[in-house]
Amino acid sequence: MPAVFRDALRFLGALSTLLLAACGGGGSPSASAPLPTPTPAAARPNIVFLLTDDLDVPSAERMPRLQQFAQGGLSFTRFYVAEPLCAPSRASILTGQYAHNHGVLDNQTPSGGFRAFRASEASTIATWLKGAGYRTSLVGKYINDYASGADAGYIPPGWDDWHAHVSAFEDGRYYNYWVNDNGDVVRHGSSEEDYSADVETQRAVSFINAAAGKPEPIFLYLAPEAPHVPSTYASRHGGEFRYELAPRVPSFNASDAPGVPPLTPALIDWLDERQRWRLRSLASVEDMLDAVEEALARTGRLEKTYVFFTSDNGILMGQHRGLEVKANFYEETIRVPLYVRGPGVPVGTTEALAVNVDLALTFAELAGLPVRDDLDGRSLASFLRGMRPASWRTDVYVEHYALPNDQTYALRSPQWFYGETERVSVYDMLADPYQLKNLQRQTSPDDLAAFRNRIQAYAACRGATCRP
């Protein structure tokens, strides 16, 4: 291992020890909302946040209209999720906190899902923006197991307009599903007009249209189910992507993990068909994005609107012999797309390391809200204004809970990946970007200890101590 990296690791290890001493423990975030900013509400920008479900970067890059959208703004090529699983990731987006702080460790009870998130609902990006004069709307998926343990018509604080899938008794994602429509629980069936992405598109456009001519800025959180399994697509897109295959990258049907059998030809054929379904389901998300931008333009809001597009986590589609699996630390799972367009946003790409815990603070800063020290992320607003902060993070922390008391960790820097699961993994991501050669045995004990010190500091951090 290069001496310069070894020296850097030792420095980071020492820094991590100090951070660990300064870190607070877990627990629920403060329920208090920030004080309103004196900036008039009408002067604040609109924010549209489009959050897909299980969208990996390779699939996003196969979407032509999405890429056209991305080329008109700033793409974060090193954007990671704090936890590669739906509910914990979405909780991190809404609160700006790592899972060990917001307490949503899994998709279902007792350690995850909606019930675990209830303690955080009093202080989310929705309550902050509503308190600052925004009109807020959530359309689509809120969080797993919503609204288990609450009234079926329950609406969380901070939302003026609510059209959320009732996933606690969900029997379908794209057809045959239930929705809480501003307190009324309604059933959508199997007719073509019930296709969930189209219903959500209509609802989002109606929300934008209803705000026409009004001074309040809007915050639209738009969360379609696509491309999550079963990746059901609208019939109009059934003939598209007929020749697409699962990504044939060096890690496809390859693995350095012991005991993982090769994929059979039948499984590979299945993966290829699954990929075509995923892309077809995403075509309706492209329709959604087009319709939202058209509505913003028609109502005179587009030039004052930031539009964000991302995913809650990625997924393995044959890489490392994974069959549509997440909740692991491979690059294809923890790295997701982030595309942003809006007023003053530069056109191009940035390789700055970013995490989805950064989004809440980014929205807050764009809205002119006071700086919050209780959040774990860092604002990306400077990048959206064409400026890079004088100092920025040099690594990204990712965590996952296989069981409530079984925390696993990963650390990603521009060159190195370090992970602790059932085994320790070290990859040189410049020489081995597909994570096929574990260097753990070639890494010195001192360097492994430095990695571990660094990751342990993150694992106990809270607020400002998560932002060294």
- CA dist 360 and 425 (Å) reads 31
CA distances from 137 to 66, 95, 295 (A): 23, 16, 15
- CA dist 267 and 205 (Å) reads 40
3-state secondary structure of 200: helix
Structure tokens at 62: 């196969």
- CA dist 380 and 366 (Å) reads 9
CA distances from 334 to 205, 337, 399 (A): 31, 10, 10
**251 with 435: CB under 8 angstroms?**
yes
Query: Is 23 among the catalytic positions?
Result: no
Q: Which of 23, 86, 461, 466 is catalytic?
A: 86
Compute how many other C-beta atoms are within 10 angstroms of the C-beta atom of residue 386.
12
Beta bridge partners of 189: none
Structure tokens at 403: 């069981």
Strand 424-428 relative to strand 416-420: parallel, antiparallel, unpaired?
Answer: antiparallel
The continuous run of DSSP H or E covering 445 comes out as helix 445-459
Strand 323-325 relative to strand 354-355: parallel, antiparallel, unpaired?
Answer: unpaired
3-state secondary structure of 216: coil
3-state secondary structure of 304: helix
Q: How many CA atoms lie within 13 A of 16 on its CB side?
A: 22
What lies within 8 Å, CB to CB, of 146 at 6+ separation is 113, 114, 164, 165, 166, 167, 168
> Active-site residue numbers?
86
